[in-house]
Amino acid sequence: MLAHNQDSPRRTPLHSLHVSLGGKMVPFAGYDMPVQYPAGVLKEHLHTRIQAGLFDVSHMGQIALRPKSGKVEDAARALERLVPQDIVAIAPGRQRYAQFTNADGGILDDLMVANFGDHLFLVVNAACKEQDEAHLRANLSGDCIIEQLADRALIALQGPKAEAALAKLCAEAPGMKFMDTGPHEVAGIKCFVSRSGYTGEDGFEISVPASDAERLAKMLLDNPDVLPIGLGARDSLRLEAGLCLYRHDIDTATTPVEAALEWSVQKSRRSGGARAGGFPGAEKILAHFDHGASRRRVGLRAEGRAPVREGALLFAESAGGDPIGQVTSGGFGPSLSAPVAMGYVPVSLSALGTQLFAEVRGQRLPLAVAAMPFVKNTYKR
């Protein structure tokens, strides 16, 4: 990363490119990041859904977990002490979504874990990356060498035309399936490429040496199907996809079961599984699996066109009564031309179609519990 002082936001290796493209720069997770470009959030969002968008996600943390024994299985078993997922079962060339949990079963951060054959490759959230690295060092240093890959940028190419755009620079791209990952050359640059993303669309995330990041980004943007996309559209895309944003939809007081992330915890780590428990907060998380939690993250569709934003209180009645929950993410869904939101409600009120009300500017607006994702995903499986 570029040099910075303590008081100013850090800059990614693509900062100059963002400015040259007319990016509106804002502070985000300690970095100066583009929230939008001249096309605007709405056009950027829809372009990604129809063609392809290029996102700078270099603010995310990239960490290599290298087993001291030389056996990647040992690194996987070590990491299982910190996450409720089956890491041992991740085959070489594949990756899996996971969460660091705390002693109370809450989520410290969510992350991607890839098996690169001789080591594990982790991508963690920008705002948590220093604490995540410290967490790994405090707990796994006996088994693993923890290496922060600070000299790498990360870009995401997302949308139905992402494969065709990347195939011009990486012949192996079309053969990759959703969650495939590993070292690949892109335009002759040695990169780590995964077929994944945060939009619900087919696409790729590309870890590239920082010194080559701008050159690679420009080559991708030379394709007329690819536009630069800012944080604004990234957020509306992930909301339509029903994906969690850390410190909003999930946090240290939320278990994976409450967050409707049961699918991410494999049977081998649950009660009766081959390696059940053994991770922080296992007692509470497994109790939620076995007996249920009292609340649940749900999708919400409001009537009318007024967005229901994060923080809005939810009620079971149109007037009177105490709040029964709260919206954690909300906004206008450009693909649907309608507002969408997510929030937590009691399990007894979590069934699809349940009528609820959100308090917006002193009025209670009707909304209903809805299925997620709001927009069907297009992953290549």
Q: What is the pLDDT of residues 303-347, one digit of tens each?
A: 989 999 999 999 999 999 999 999 999 999 999 999 999 999 999
Q: How far is CA 146 from CA 132, 150, 189, 237, 373, in A?
A: 11, 12, 24, 32, 35
Q: How far is CA 287 from CA 192, 250, 270, 271, in A?
A: 38, 19, 10, 9
Mind listing the pLDDT tens digit for each residue in 270-287? 999 999 999 999 999 999
Residue 98, phi then psi, degrees to nearest 5: -145, 170
* Mean of the per-residue pLDDT values of the chain: 97
Q: How far is CA 274 from CA 8, 81, 270, 277, in A?
A: 48, 14, 8, 9
**Close Cβ partners of 315 (under 8 Å, ≥ 6 residues apart):** 321, 322, 323, 324, 356, 357, 358, 359, 364
Range(s) for CATH 3.30.1360.120 in the chain?
15-56+151-240
CATH top-level class for 15-56+151-240? alpha beta
Mind listing the pLDDT tens digit for each residue in 240-262? 999 999 999 999 999 999 999 99
58 and 213 Cβ atoms separated by less than 8 Å: yes
Task: Note the pTM of the prediction, 2 decimals.
Answer: 0.96
339 and 301 Cβ atoms separated by less than 8 Å: yes
Q: Give residue 8's pLDDT.
A: 86
DSSP state for residue 281 in the 8-state scheme: T
Range(s) for CATH 2.40.30.110 in the chain?
294-381
Check pLDDT > 50 for residue 3. no
Check pLDDT > 70 for residue 2. no
Q: Give residue 5's pLDDT.
A: 42
Q: Give residue 4's pLDDT.
A: 39
CA–centroid distance for 179 within its chain: 13
Q: Give residue 7's pLDDT.
A: 66
**Count, residues in the chain:** 381
Q: Which CATH superfamily is domain 294-381 in?
A: Aminomethyltransferase beta-barrel domains (2.40.30.110)
Mind listing the pLDDT tens digit for each residue in 141-168? 999 999 999 999 999 999 999 999 999 9
Q: Which amino acid is at 320?
A: G
Mean pLDDT of all residues in 22-45? 98
Check pLDDT > 80 for residue 35. yes
% of the chain surpassing 70 pLDDT: 98
Mean pLDDT of all residues in 11-25? 98
